[in-house]
Structure 1
Amino acid sequence: MSQIDRYFERYGPAYKWLATGTIMVATISVVLSTTIVNVAIPAVMGAFGMSAVQAQWISTGFLAAMTATMLLADWTNRAFGTRLTMNAAMSVFLAGSVLGGLAPNETILTLARVVQGAAAGIVQPLAMIMLFKVFPPDKRGAAMGIYGVGVVLAPALGPWIGGLLMDAFDWRFVFYLGLPFAGLAILMSNLFLPSREESGPIPAFDFVGVAILSVFLAILLSTLSNAQRLGWESNIILAGFTISVASAIGFVAWEMNTAKPMLDMRLFANFAFSSASVVAFIMGAGLFGSTYLLPVFVQQIQGMTPTQAGLLLMPSGFAMLLVFPIAGRLSDKVPAPIMIALGMAVFAGSSWLMVAANVHTAFWTLAWWTVLSRVGLGLVFPAISSGALKVLPPHLLGQGSGASNFIRQLGGAFGVNLLTVFIERRTIMHADAFAATQTSDNATTMELLREVAGLMHAAGLPDTQLMPAAASFLGRTVMIQSSNAAFQDGFLIVCGIFLLALIPTWFMWRVASSAT
């Protein structure tokens, strides 16, 4: 009798809900830290004097570390058992949270985020493995929908609560918000999660694979972040891209030939899983990229407070709270490609609407556009999670869970990084274009300068300072408009990314149709 069977014997049918509740609490604690810090980024930039590209490492560093460790979940589960793995991961997460709250500079803060991300990467695949162990195959879609409630509850409430904490106290308090959930997760893990099933020696660990993957992620993301500052054709940037490509090829080659791979390449021989993986990558890029863009946009362009930025995201979180259980049940009955295509199209439509966002866009207009995007995501998540794993044999479920989450997070890390670089480049491009039109021949510009100078004269500013002050105001206006236009371009890119995901979704449909 397995330990799962013993738990069912002890607690009866209710055990699957006790196990689900345990992993939901753990997931809430790590998902809180994934998104809540985005609300604090403008404040952190001011506190440490960081540029936008430096600040995005607070988010990208977390995602990169999470991506690297997601593939370890299957090995740690087999080597140490679910209970010990969850306890260790949540303890490391607690330490990273405290370090982030106490960080004296941006280097320590980024390190704390990497520590948090490394722990968080273990938790999410472990949660999916547990769900597939305690629910029968015909109920796994519904289980993913219920689990998704926990995944979206944290982003729904977290940014708002984080904004309140920031406005009342300090940005450092956002790091402490996940601590109670992490402590509760450790307690529940010791009560309801099984220990190691195997009695033999600990399976071999793929140290070489982890090392190569870490080099690939660190070098590539760092190169992308610094390319704009150092020049895309500079020697150090070209060397970084070369090392990244070599590392990627080396990782694939090693994993295909080692006896104990961290990522079993046999997974991708299954065309349905490969197609789902491409969709997951694109979904991660669009989702995390847009989640990063929106709070920064409304604070930098519209001047919202952190609390208002958090409130903006709350209705969308509650919309997902309603959609997830329904979508989970539907994914057990409706083919996954149909659910995914519908959700992707809805999210793309929402991003298309966001292209029109500017400094004058009303709060509730932005909120409803965001609600629409999260309804689309709510349709995609259960279908992509259960659909990718349903096609795998039981002995590859652990690997498949880690790989699916890994690919989605890899897309997220790339999405945040590339969108940040893209917006920085587009801001400079738009600023140059706008500045070129602000000449003495532009009647609108000259009228604005006269009106601003008149207002400043009425306020008591000396005549010698009127035109310099008016020109300074014009410069700030041009920069705000340039940044606004760059963000609009970013939302357009997100729209395109989700429309692009319809192509591999169609391949998933073809595979499913030919199988029946």
Structure 2
Amino acid sequence: MSKIPQKWMVVLSVLIGSFTMILNNSMLNPAVPQLMTVFEADAVSTGWVITIFMVTMGMTMPLTGFMGDKWGKKRLYLIGLTIFVVGSILGSLSWNLSSLIFFRGLQGVGGGIMMPLSMALIFEVFPKKERGLATGVWGISAMMAPTIGPTLGGVLIETASWHYLFLCNVPVGILGIVFAAKYLKETKKNEKIVFDRLGFIAVTFGVGLILLALARTSTFEHLTNPINIALFIIGCLSLYWFVRIENRTEQPLLDLSIFKVSTYTMSVIISGITSIGLFGSIFLIPLLLQNVYGYNAIVTGLVFLPSALLTGVFMTVGGRILDRKGAAGVVTIGLIIITISTFMLGFLSLETSVWFIVLVMVIRGIGMGLSSMPATTAGMNSIPENIVSRGSAMNNVLRQMSSSLGIVFISIYFEVRRTQLFATTETMEVANLQAINEGFIVLGVLTAITIPAGYFLRTKKIEENKKTKQVS
């Protein structure tokens, strides 16, 4: 290990932690049916095992910028990873569904601390001209884990006990703590920073209630549920209150002036839409392969694997291009590739070969690798160094909300459309296929809209930098 440069050990350290956290979250999705049996609970109650993680993670993220500045990013990252590992140990010891949900919420708090700090810690040790490659390597965790997690989770469920879905985090998590303690760089602390209490209350309620409403929504009936509507409206009002507070607070929890930097704003738009596309396809592809073509969960996982691998490889390629030539070209090309390949998935037939789907998914994975992380890195490079951790927190919160919104939108569209189509088609397979095709066309249109944003991802201008100069 001594021959590897210190800065790359930082990347490896945060990659271990973030990959473990994201992988574990996606591994639990196929476990819900078994957990329903184990704890003798219904689907709604058991679904909280997934929901609570997303909600507590989203509520914690806005705090990481302030806490990282106050206590130091390395110390806070270690606290977050430790909380996640402890939550994993306790989760494996759960004695009923309520305890399992509580410990999953604890895992979400740890994950909410870790994710925004991961990129901020990388930025601490890499100069701007090298950050594209570094974040591309780290980004493998964010893009590959959601695609391979369900397959690994299914294998564990079939061959072992649900307890191992939590226990498998422990050795890797401890390894991540050891690496982080040894290789992460100590960062400066700002003891004089003041906690924005009102901003914290507003953003916590806003993000938490919106994520809760989205997590409770998977059908059209859920969308019209008065409780879900109330949660969403109150959440939006809380975020509006949050914006008003931040604009008049001397030391805001999240400095919204960074959105005056056009490159950062464009990067957030791109990362949000690509997240919708990623998680929308993670929802649709298993339905396509299992409900239309009749393949099992193992085949479904294998279809995702080549795409995930190519996404990881081309994240590093995209990062290198970003470092050498800037973001506009590589991100625009990536978005065009995603758009074309997503539209291709919108014109499948009952006779389509699984190998064609694998090929299109691979092409789409290449586009994801070239666009997602390079766009995020370009946006983070465009804001002042002293608010990188807060910019990362903002980016992660919006990405989390976009992912949730994408899943809700696609799931409701699929359920409503296949019901309508089944009334006019001969079989449910045909109705499912057409609804899935239409879902991919919608995702393709969304991605196409972002292509101009990729083109305008330019290196930050001096006057843009001045707009956030007051933040210090």
Matches within 5 A, 1:393-412: 393-412=384-403
TM-score, with structure 1 as normaliser: 0.78
Identity %: 24
1:336 matched to 2:285: no
Find the counterpart in structure 2 of residue 427 from structure 1.
418
Find the counterpart in structure 2 of residue 264 from structure 1.
255
Find the counterpart in structure 2 of residue 489 from structure 1.
438
Q: Deviations over 1:236-264 (max 9, x none)?
A: 45534432331221111122222332210
CA apart distance, 1:279: 1.6
**CA–CA distance in structure 1, aligned partners of residues 100 and 397 of structure 2:** 24
Give 1:310's match in structure 2, choosing from 301, 313, 316: 301
**CA–CA distance in structure 1, aligned partners of residues 189 and 459 of structure 2:** 39
Find the counterpart in structure 1 of residue 9 from structure 2.
18
Q: Deviations over 1:307-350 (max 9, x none)?
A: 32222211112212322222111111233122222111211222
**CA–CA distance in structure 1, aligned partners of residues 411 and 403 of structure 2:** 12
CA apart distance, 1:355: 2.2
Give 2:210's match in structure 1, choosing from 217, 220, 236: 220
1:36 matched to 2:21: no
Find the counterpart in structure 2 of residue 125 from structure 1.
116
Give 1:281's match in structure 2, choosing from 272, 276, 297: 272
Give 1:366's match in structure 2, choosing from 342, 357, 372: 357
Matches within 5 A, 1:428-467: 428-434=419-425
Q: Alpha carbons of 1:197 and 1:330: their partners in 2 closer, same or farther (altered >3 Å)?
A: same
**CA–CA distance in structure 1, aligned partners of residues 423 and 96 of structure 2:** 33
User: Quick check: 1:72–1:262 contact (8 Å CA) kept in 2?
Assistant: yes
RMSD: 3.3
Find the counterpart in structure 1 of residue 467 from structure 2.
none
CA apart distance, 1:231: 6.9
Equivalent pairs, count: 461
AA matched with 1:212: A
1:164 matched to 2:155: yes
**CA–CA distance in structure 2, aligned partners of residues 292 and 102 of structure 1:** 30
**CA–CA distance in structure 1, aligned partners of residues 351 and 131 of structure 2:** 44
Q: Alpha carbons of 1:495 and 1:124: their partners in 2 closer, same or farther (altered >3 Å)?
A: same
AA matched with 2:205: V
CA apart distance, 1:116: 2.7
Give 2:311's match in structure 1, choosing from 317, 320, 324: 320
Find the counterpart in structure 1 of residue 470 from structure 2.
none
Find the counterpart in structure 1 of residue 179 from structure 2.
188
Find the counterpart in structure 1 of residue 238 from structure 2.
247
Query: Which segments of 5 or more consecutive residues in structure 1 lack a partner in the other structure?
Result: 1-10, 439-476
CA apart distance, 1:62: 3.4
More deviation, 348-357/244-253:
348-357
**CA–CA distance in structure 2, aligned partners of residues 503 and 44 of structure 1:** 45
User: Quick check: 2:311–2:369 contact (8 Å CA) kept in 1?
Assistant: yes
1:90 matched to 2:81: yes
Q: Deviations over 1:198-245 (max 9, x none)?
A: 3736x3333433332232234334445459565756654553443233
More deviation, 315-324/181-190:
315-324
User: Quick check: 1:38–1:292 contact (8 Å CA) kept in 2?
Assistant: no
Find the counterpart in structure 1 of residue 196 from structure 2.
206
CA apart distance, 1:379: 0.1
User: Quick check: 1:340–1:384 contact (8 Å CA) kept in 2?
Assistant: yes
User: Quick check: 2:147–2:282 contact (8 Å CA) kept in 1?
Assistant: no
Q: Alpha carbons of 1:252 and 1:514: their partners in 2 closer, same or farther (altered >3 Å)?
A: closer
AA matched with 1:298: L
CA apart distance, 1:391: 1.4
Q: Deviations over 1:130-165 (max 9, x none)?
A: 211111221111212222344445456544433322
* SS of structure 2 residue aligned to 1:71: helix
Tell me which structure has the larger Cα radius of gyration: 1
CA apart distance, 1:32: 1.0
AA matched with 1:208: L
CA apart distance, 1:97: 3.0
More deviation, 118-127/57-66:
57-66
1:377 matched to 2:368: yes
* SS of structure 2 residue aligned to 1:501: helix
Find the counterpart in structure 2 of residue 499 from structure 1.
448
